[in-house]
Amino acid sequence: MAAKSIISRPVYGTLSPQPGKHHLFVADAEGALAISDLAAKAPAGFFRDAHIIFIPGRDGKHVAALEALNPVQFHQGPSFASALPRLKQTLANAHMGLRLYLAGTEGLIGQAMQAALEAGIDHTSIQTEHRGSLARRVQCVHCKGITENVTTQPATCSHCGLLLLVRDHYSRRLAAFQGVCINAEDRSEIPPTEEIFR
Amino acid sequence: MSTGTTKLDVVVSDVVPVNELVTRFHFRRRDGALLPTFSGGAHVVAEMRDGERTRLNPYSLMGSPLDTREYTISVRRDDAGRGGSLFMHRHVRPGAEMVISYPVNLFSLDLRARKHLMLAGGIGITPFMAQTAQLAAEGGNFELHYTCRTASLGTYADVLRERYDRRVRLYHDDRDERIELDRLLSSQPLGTHLYVCGPSGMIDWVRDRAAALGWPAETVHFEHFAAPQPGAPFDVTLAVSGKTIRVDEQQSLLEAIEAAGVDPPYLCRGGVCGQCETNVIAHDGKFIHNDHWLSEEEHRSCRKIMPCVSRFEGRSLVLER
């Protein structure tokens, strides 16, 4: 569970079944467990109108458990990027009454939410649950490059090489946390690196 | 000075009967300057000086927000009401000087929406007159479904059809035409926002169906035209100002407080904005809550009241005013 911080830092909840005509789930890795937990609370037949997009990740676990829920559509992909066109297409053809549920890593929740915002869904209308890694997507404020799976503080920008302080300041539009040069005054000053976003 | 009640000195520039129940009033500034900008869905509170009594009634602005040379409101005559609409119909003539509040919008468009789906019932059409004008000017995507009792009581139905053609759909009660609400709500593209204004039964029906069909609450906007209900007179003690007042049958509690020279803040005078929320210090009796602001729990707690629309029956009531 992510600790409470400044107001822009996203806060996640617990997935719960919402009234609706269609239910679209996007999850990665341990996010599957949040869907299973929701299924235990859902009314009978709930998954007859459900579509699950799942990125199992390296472990490759949980696929069978999700398939066993018998969603009307089940899709798995090797990465979020590979699933994004399907997500965008689904949202583009969707009608009001579709409910969106996002579960798993912050990177997945953030990027799926970004696609949903572009499709006209308000972020407060989306069910989210954080499971698994706390690794962050970070945008370097200096070169604007995005570095994926940042687990350390500070972190090196994978684009311009600056040493970045990873802030809790988050952008829904970019689906990224803000990284600011930690030693702008004196580049020879190198603070110790700790792995804190595991 | 109460919140949002900065006043405008206006003159009635025109009075136009629209049909057997509705009359339109045009206001211009007495000093000839432009009126303040407003957005579709805004209302003004009109002050009506009727002998000893002052009535303050909210009316939606129905003109185009692009034209601030004049404001227009449409008033439906309510023969069984508390007298505000009758006063407007009987006594307000071109050239009359009136005072109205600055516009306040508690029913604004969410301009992030991909599409605006509007449902109007009866005189609930007025805010949509301004909203559709605003959206049409920006090339906005909207669709208006308007239910009226009969064609002759379909206020502005002809104007809307002429302006927006097939984007306006009419339903007449006397011809048994009904909105196929579930089908309509289920066929809207993602990113649609819903707006409903009309009788409270209609608003409740639309909100219930929208929620059941999976419309998130933040996409559903509504405006109740809740005029204060008359009721048995009751006495109130205003603890802060040390006054005891009587609320007449046809008077709202807020109006009675104002008549005693105490000025609580207000915006909507219809039980939705929350401005006039008042703490109850002591009571012996029963509250008649008519607002849409306080939660059910707060209603049950008997510790707060919205004096613009709610009343009291019983032996004594002490308010923190």
Tell me what pLDDT residue A3 has.
58
Q: What ipTM was predicted for this assembly?
A: 0.88
- B157-164 helix and B126-137 helix, angle to the nearest 10 degrees: 10
Rounded-to-integer distance, Cα B194 and Cα B221, Å: 6
CA distance B211 to chain A (A): 7
Given an 8 Å threshold on Cβ–Cβ distance, is A91 in contact with B190? yes
Using CB atoms and an 8 Å cut-off, which of residues 112-171 of chain A contact chain B?
119-122, 124-125
- A80-92 helix and A106-118 helix, angle to the nearest 10 degrees: 30
Question: Is B2 a residue whose pLDDT tops 50?
Answer: no
Given an 8 Å threshold on Cβ–Cβ distance, is B185 in contact with A97? yes
CATH architecture for segment(s) B115-224:
3-Layer(aba) Sandwich (3.40)
Question: Residues of CATH 2.40.30.10 domain(s) within chain B?
Answer: 7-105
Q: What is the mean pLDDT of chain B?
A: 93
> Which of A82-91's residues contact partners 24+ apart within 8 Å by CB, and which partners?
A83/A26, A83/A53, A83/A55, A84/A111, A84/A115, A86/A53, A87/A26, A87/A53, A87/A112, A87/A115, A88/A115, A88/A118, A88/A119, A90/A24, A90/A51, A90/A53, A91/A24, A91/A115, A91/A116, A91/A119, A91/A121, A91/B190
Contact B274, B310 (CB under 8 A): no
CA distances from A74 to A35, A58, A77, A118, A133 (A): 13, 19, 10, 23, 23
Binned at pLDDT 50, 70 and 90, residue B66 comes out as very high
Tell me what pLDDT residue B86 has.
94
Question: Is B272 a residue whose pLDDT tops 90?
Answer: no
CA distance A32 to chain B (A): 23
Nearest to B27 by CA among B62, B78, B77, B76: B62
CATH architecture for segment(s) B7-105:
Beta Barrel (2.40)
Q: What is the mean pLDDT of chain A?
A: 95
Predicted model pTM: 0.88
Count of domains observed in chain A: 2
In a domain, A115, yes or no: yes
| A121 and A44 in a common domain | yes
Binned at pLDDT 50, 70 and 90, residue B97 comes out as very high
Question: Residues of CATH 3.40.50.80 domain(s) within chain B?
Answer: 115-224
Question: Is A102 a residue whose pLDDT tops 70?
Answer: yes
Q: Which residues pair with B68 in a beta bridge?
A: none
Q: Does B64 touch chain A (CB under 8 A)?
A: no
Nearest to A175 by CA among A84, A109, A90: A109
Identify the residue with better confidence: A116 or A1.
A116
Given an 8 Å threshold on Cβ–Cβ distance, is B214 in contact with A120? no
β B192-198/B115-121 pair status: parallel
Top mean pLDDT of A158-172, B51-65, B215-229 is at A158-172
Binned at pLDDT 50, 70 and 90, residue B52 comes out as confident
Question: Which residue in the set A91, A97, A122 is minimally distant from B213, CB to CB?
Answer: A97
Contact B25, B96 (CB under 8 A): no
Of A76, A101, A130, which residue is a domain's last?
A130
CA distance A150 to chain B (A): 32
Using CB atoms and an 8 Å cut-off, which of residues 47-106 of chain A contact chain B?
91, 94-99
Tell me what pLDDT residue A60 has.
85
> Where does B234-319 sit in CATH, by number?
3.10.20.30
In a domain, A68, yes or no: yes
Mean pLDDT of B295-303: 94
| A42 and A116 in a common domain | yes
Question: Is A189 a residue whose pLDDT tops 70?
Answer: yes
